[in-house]
Amino acid sequence: MTAKTARVNDDLIRALRAVVGDRVSTSAVVREQHGKDESYHPPHPPDAVVFATTTREISDVVKICAGRGVPVVPFGAGTSLEGHVAALKGGVCIDLARMNAILSVNAGDMDVTVQAGVTRKQLNEHLRDMGLFFPIDPGADASLGGMAATRASGTNAVRYGTMRDNVLALTVVLADGRVIRTSRRARKSSAGYDLTRLFVGSEGTLGVIAELTLRLYGIPEAISAAVCPFPDLKSAVETVILTIQSGVPVARIELLDEVQMDAINRYSKFDYPLQPTLFFEFHGSERGVVEQVETVKGIAADCGAGDFRWATKPEDRNRLWQARHDSYYACLALRPGAKALATDVCVPISRLAECILETRRDIDQTGLLAPILGHVGDGNFHVVVVMDMNDATEVARCKAFNERLVMRALAMDGTCTGEHGIGYGKIDFLTVEHGDAVSVMRAIKMALDPQNIMNPGKIVRV
Amino acid sequence: MTAKTARVNDDLIRALRAVVGDRVSTSAVVREQHGKDESYHPPHPPDAVVFATTTREISDVVKICAGRGVPVVPFGAGTSLEGHVAALKGGVCIDLARMNAILSVNAGDMDVTVQAGVTRKQLNEHLRDMGLFFPIDPGADASLGGMAATRASGTNAVRYGTMRDNVLALTVVLADGRVIRTSRRARKSSAGYDLTRLFVGSEGTLGVIAELTLRLYGIPEAISAAVCPFPDLKSAVETVILTIQSGVPVARIELLDEVQMDAINRYSKFDYPLQPTLFFEFHGSERGVVEQVETVKGIAADCGAGDFRWATKPEDRNRLWQARHDSYYACLALRPGAKALATDVCVPISRLAECILETRRDIDQTGLLAPILGHVGDGNFHVVVVMDMNDATEVARCKAFNERLVMRALAMDGTCTGEHGIGYGKIDFLTVEHGDAVSVMRAIKMALDPQNIMNPGKIVRV
């Protein structure tokens, strides 16, 4: 243990064991696993890892840490991308994976209450027989607590919204160990400050999300997915913009450029044309889906699209979306041993074509291996910049590219992160984006976590 | 001026005049107008009223007040219902009605930026020719700043959400006069704490909302409205619950009991049957609306509904919804000279029938003149308790009824206010509803407004 974490000592470990028994570990392997996410950011292992099973245990662990001024870092599935779980100041990581109970499904109200470690796939498997589903889908099989903490979204957000829109209430352990519930199960409320939305996206810096009540949706009567190639990026993006502006309630509309299509073909054994491509999904009644498809096919044809290739059988649809979700790994597989810097800007839809085309020119000029893909219906797209971490010059070039991309998006009234969050990777961009508003965030942080023990060094520096 | 407002003196008025010229008033009439809303709560006039025209002026006025520790109370259209604008500790009211500029419409992005004093009707008149509309509709022609401040919703919320879901960004003047923008125009973002949602619903207690960027929607291709009577309250509410659970994207579904229908018939010159009644509106494509109507008519018939009476012409629809919106005044007209206590609970939809039927029994047993109506698709309903303010016993009986109703809703995992807000009228209910979470709200309030000058005495006591 380093000097900075001197307060993590045998006495603390004894206190933790008194709460969770042998579910505390200081082994190097376990600590290493918990100090890193899926990004290129360097690992920062915590000094100890606790595997919590109840809200009460989280509360007791936080009280022990608070009494000693020791940092607390919550850990879900470890699939974040901006160093969210890095224990920058050491301390105790609370692993929530064993808090994986689905506590209650209220089918009549279309809501569910879960422990924070339940993953989205686990939840949807549980719900399937009830004809219900939870739509938010960031690709990775993330924990729902982690998804709330990072305000995740993903492919379905264009129709169903993000975690912001689909969390009804949270049970949160505060920085002093007190437990609050942020809201009731009613669908709307004007009762005081919106604490639910404050904790959604707070990345563990204001408290630990222990339980969530989520909105559910009926599985649509009809679902239809299609893949459609375009002659160039511009015509694909134009199709997206016109589709959104037409008001068609498309469930998914995803862009993949030709480099990304190549990566997916190789990784997922597809044979799609190497062209900029849109993946669509339509949800609705049988008639409603037909109507949506007609409208979108008309728009796409006007923009010069190729043929729609349909995936109607569930197994074909699942294979298609699995391939889309594996795109990050498909990019990494293009260059074995490399890491990826996944960018995440989001701009108003009217600026999307301009932003993507300028970015593509930048990639070409800079000479990067950097497929483009994204949830373009929201104006959100990613560039997966594949880089050799051992080549400092290349890493610097990739980071400079990301910075140019962020500045481009901000100049278009966009954001530096549509869905990945700030972590510590984007902490400086947050200030560029929000200006004086960051001081308001800092004031809130200091009010709710005066010792700065909750995931310190993330979102705002104190 | 009373002792409590001694800091409002000639020096302050001179300072205000230096900023806004003659747009500051200390006349008794103007102060009286600004100390009350549409509720039964007694008036508390401010010591001075400033009519602001720019964000800069608001900032300068707040700085002047902050330097002297003088309270600041924002005032929109004065249509709130829980004493939100009452100057409980005196101070300066900032009237925003002259900040009525529509600053920019981005049709391609379906958003608009307005000054806080623009009203919803003004905005929709401006948008109509562009084929766009803003759906949130609390009945009164409230200001959009006030609607954001109280997290308003109304008849369309079941489909389009509340102000929470439809504000993209706010320009806010903080308690020290600094001006921040809470977000960019991008449709989603994970960049730090959700300040937009924190200020939506903050009722002027954390800052003054000066400008808003709002989501817009395309005017639907087809709109159809209908009125349908039911043999009893239970069958009407069952129809609502089954409609929501079926996933039909109904745009409006409003319940009015037979007492309310009588009030509306008298006030708006209709001849609807004196039965519990649902008002529906359907939005979509021509085919989509037909499909929705078929489903809902089937559900209603199974529940024993009478015939649907259709309003398809725009003028008929407008007359219908105007009557619905005038229901509060229609109730007041039942008993000239009386005031109304408008309750506002919201419960999970599965508990709605139980909550409404128990409430109706309570009304009958207590012997109140108290029509029931509401945005039942959200689980939100109002009882307009008409009372003689000069009869202290009656007022006490009405307040006790409201308290029983709130406790009933809370016991069903509901909220004391679906859309009216806390103001000072529900400040004690907030604590019952949120428990320890109120201490988090108080910590935020004290962090952002350490002098407690922003609309003091509302939401949380400091």
B227 is written with which tokens? 């009125």
Concatenate the DSSP letters of all residues of A95-117 into one string: E-TT---EEEEEGGGTEEEEETT
Cα-Cα-Cα-Cα dihedral sign, residues A255, A261, A267, A271: positive
Q: Which of the residues B193, B197, B354 would you substitute to probe the A interface, choosing the one with the greatest number of A C-beta atoms within 10 Å?
A: B193
Short-list B453, B383, B423, CA closest to B80:
B423
| Among B190, B217, B244, B286, the residue to mutate for chain A (most A Cβ within 10 A) | B190
**Sign of the CA dihedral A211, A217, A223, A228?**
negative
- The total number of residues shown for chain A amounts to 462
Q: Please list the residues that pair with A454 across neighbouring strands.
A: A72
Q: How many CB atoms lie within 10 A of CB B423?
A: 25
Give the phi and the psi of residue A160 in degrees, each rounded to 5.
Answer: -105, -5
B 138-167 residues with CB < 8 A to A: 150-153, 157, 161-162, 164-165
B374 CB near a chain A CB, below 8 Å? no
Tokens of B284: 């979509």
Q: How many other C-beta atoms can be found within 10 angstroms of the C-beta atom of residue A385?
A: 27
The answer to whether residue B347 neighbours chain A at the CB level (below 8 Å) is yes
- Using 50, 70 and 90 to split pLDDT, how confident is the model at A4? very low
Cβ pair A448:B448 closer than 8 A: no
Q: How far is B375 from chain A (nearest CA, A)?
A: 11
DSSP 8-state secondary structure symbol assigned to residue A3:
G
Mean pLDDT along residues A426-446 = 97
One-character DSSP codes across B208-274: EEEEEEEE-EEPPSEEEEEEEE-SSHHHHHHHHHHHHHTT---SEEEEE-HHHHHHHHHHHT----S
Q: Which two tokens stand for residue B124?
A: 């929709």
List Cα–Cα distances, A217 to A135, B243, B244, in angstroms: 8, 14, 11
Give B303 to chain A, closest Cα distance, Å.
17
Sheet containing strand A382-387, strands side by side: A309-311, A222-229, A277-284, A252-256, A372-374, A382-387, A339-342
Q: What is the pLDDT of residue B2?
A: 43
| Chain A hits for B419, Cβ within 8 Å | 188, 190
Beta carbons of B170 and B148 less than 8 angstroms apart: yes
First to last CA, chain A: 23
C-alpha torsion angle, residues B234, B240, B243, B246 (rounded to 10): -80
Chain A residues 319-338 with CB within 8 Å of chain B: none
Closest Cβ–Cβ partner in A106, A108, A348 for B185: A348
Which residues have a Cβ under 8 Å from the Cβ of B301 and sit 6 or more positions away? none
Chain B residue with Cα closest to A440: B448
CB distance B440–A245 less than 8 Å? no
Distance from CA of A445 to the nearest CA of B (A): 9
Closest CA to A159 of A292, A37, A28, A62: A292
Asked if A347 is an interface residue toward chain B (Cβ–Cβ < 8 A), one would say yes
For the stretch A35-57, pLDDT in tens is 999 999 999 999 999 999 999 99
Distance from CA of A108 to the nearest CA of B (A): 6
Task: Print pLDDT tens along chain B (462 aa).
Answer: 444 455 678 999 999 999 999 999 999 999 999 999 999 999 999 999 999 999 999 999 999 999 999 999 999 999 999 999 999 999 999 999 999 999 999 999 999 999 999 999 999 999 999 999 999 999 999 999 999 999 999 999 999 999 999 999 999 999 999 999 999 999 999 999 999 999 999 999 999 999 999 999 999 999 999 999 999 999 999 999 999 989 899 999 999 999 999 999 999 999 999 999 999 999 999 999 999 999 999 999 999 999 999 988 899 999 999 999 999 999 999 999 999 999 999 999 999 999 999 999 999 999 999 999 999 999 999 999 999 999 999 999 999 999 999 999 999 999 999 999 999 999 999 999 999 999 999 999 999 999 999 999 999 999
Q: What is the pLDDT of residues A55-104, one digit of tens each?
A: 999 999 999 999 999 999 999 999 999 999 999 999 999 999 999 999 99
On whether the CB atoms of residues A168 and A135 are closer than 8 A, the answer is: no
**Cα dist from A258 to A230, A231, A242, A272, B205, whole Å:** 10, 10, 21, 10, 51
CB contact under 8 A, B191 and A349: no
Contact A462/B at CB under 8 A: no
Evaluate whether B427 touches B458 at the Cβ level (below 8 Å). Answer: yes
Nearest-Cα residue of chain B relative to residue A180: B437
Dig out the tokens for B346 from the structure: 């919201």
Return d(Cα A128, Cα A130) in angstroms, integer.
5
Fold designation for B222-411: Vanillyl-alcohol Oxidase; Chain A, domain 3 (3.40.462)
How far apart (Å, rounded) are the C-alpha atoms in residues B253 and B266?
A: 22
- Secondary structure element (H or E) that encloses residue A441, with its range: helix A437-448
Contact by Cβ (8 Å): A360, A248: no
Q: Is A59 on the interface with B (CB under 8 A)?
A: no
Look at residues B53, B203, B212 and name the one whose alpha carbon lies nearest to residue B120: B212
Residues from chain A that touch B347, judged by Cβ atoms under 8 A, are 186
Instruction: Tell me which residue in B161, B188, B444 faces A193 most closely, judged by beta carbons.
Output: B444
Mean per-residue pLDDT, A197-209: 98
Say how many C-beta atoms besides its own lie within 10 A of residue B132's C-beta. Answer: 19
Three-state secondary-structure class, residue B444? helix
| Distance in angstroms (rounded) separating the CA atoms of residues B156 and B141 | 15
- In sequence order, what are the residues at sequence separation of 6 or more whose Cβ sits closer than 8 angstroms to the Cβ of residue A21? none
Gap from B113 CA to chain A (nearest CA, Å): 13
Contact (CB<8Å) B413/A349: no
Give per-residue pLDDT as tens, A225-281: 999 999 999 999 999 999 998 989 999 999 999 999 999 999 999 999 999 999 999
CB contact under 8 A, B186 and A217: no
* CA A274/CA B236 separation, integer angstroms: 56
Interface test with B, best of A287, A410, A440, A442 (most B CBs within 10 A): A440
Chain B residues whose beta carbon lies within 8 Å of the beta carbon of residue A188: 153, 157, 162, 164, 346, 378, 380, 415, 418-419
Residue written as token pair 């300072």: B15
pLDDT above 70: percentage of residues in chain A: 98
Closest-CA residue of A relative to B288 is A288
Q: Tell me the per-residue pLDDT of A349-382, one tens digit each, with 9 for 90 and over.
A: 999 999 999 999 999 999 999 999 999 999 999 9
Judged by CB atoms closer than 8 Å, whether chains meet at B197 and A202 is answered as no
Residue A312's pLDDT is: 83
- Compute the radius of gyration of chain B from its Cα atoms: 22
In contact, B346 and A187? CB cutoff 8 Å: yes
CA atoms of A329 and A263, how far apart (whole Å):
9
How long a stretch of residues is chain B? 462
B283 closest CA partner among A296, A247, A245: A247
Residues of chain A contacting B194 with CB distance shorter than 8 Å: 151, 164, 194, 197-198, 200-201
Q: How far is A273 from chain B (nearest CA, A)?
A: 31
Residue A118: what are its φ and ψ, rounded to 5°?
-60, 135
Same fold, A3-97 and A222-411: no
DSSP readout, B361-385? HHHHHHT-B--EEE-GGGTB-EEEE
Note whether B350 contacts A: Cβ–Cβ < 8 A.
yes
CATH number of the structural domain A102-218: 3.30.465.10
Q: Which of A168, A193, A439 to mutate to test the interface with B (most CBs of B within 10 A)?
A: A193
Handedness of CA A287, A292, A297, A298 (dihedral sign): positive
| ipTM of predicted complex | 0.96
Q: Tell me which amino acid residue A261 is.
A: M
Question: Is B417's CB within 8 Å of A194's CB?
Answer: no
Burial B36-51 (b: 16+ CB within 10 A, else e): bbbbbbeebbbbbbbb
Nearest chain A residue to B241 by CA distance is: A108
Q: A75 has which bridge partners?
A: A95
What residues are paired with A114 via a beta bridge?
A102, A212
CATH architecture designation of domain A3-97: 2-Layer Sandwich (3.30)
Residues 104-133 in A contacting B (C-alpha not used; CB under 8 Å): 106, 108-111
Angle between helix A392-411 and A427-434 (nearest 10): 20
Relative orientation angle of helices A286-302 and A233-245, to the nearest 10 degrees: 140
Q: Tell me the residue ranges of DSSP E strands in A201-345.
A: 207-215, 217-218, 222-229, 252-256, 277-284, 309-311, 339-342
- Cβ within 8 Å of B, A 379-438: 379-380, 409-410, 413-422, 426, 429-430, 433-438
Joined tokens for residue A247: 């008001």
pLDDT of residue B312: 83
Least reliable range by pLDDT among A16-25, A271-280, A319-328: A319-328
Q: Please state, in angstroms and rounded to a whole number, the distance separating the CA atoms of residues B351 and B168.
A: 32
Measured distance CA(B41)–CA(A17) in Å, rounded: 55
Q: Which helix (H) or strand (E) holds A445?
A: helix A437-448
Q: What residues does each domain of chain A span?
A: 3-97, 102-218, 222-411
Query: DSSP letter string over A351-366?
Result: GHHHHHHHHHHHHHHH
- Return residues 252-291 of B near A (CB < 8 Å): 285, 287-288, 291
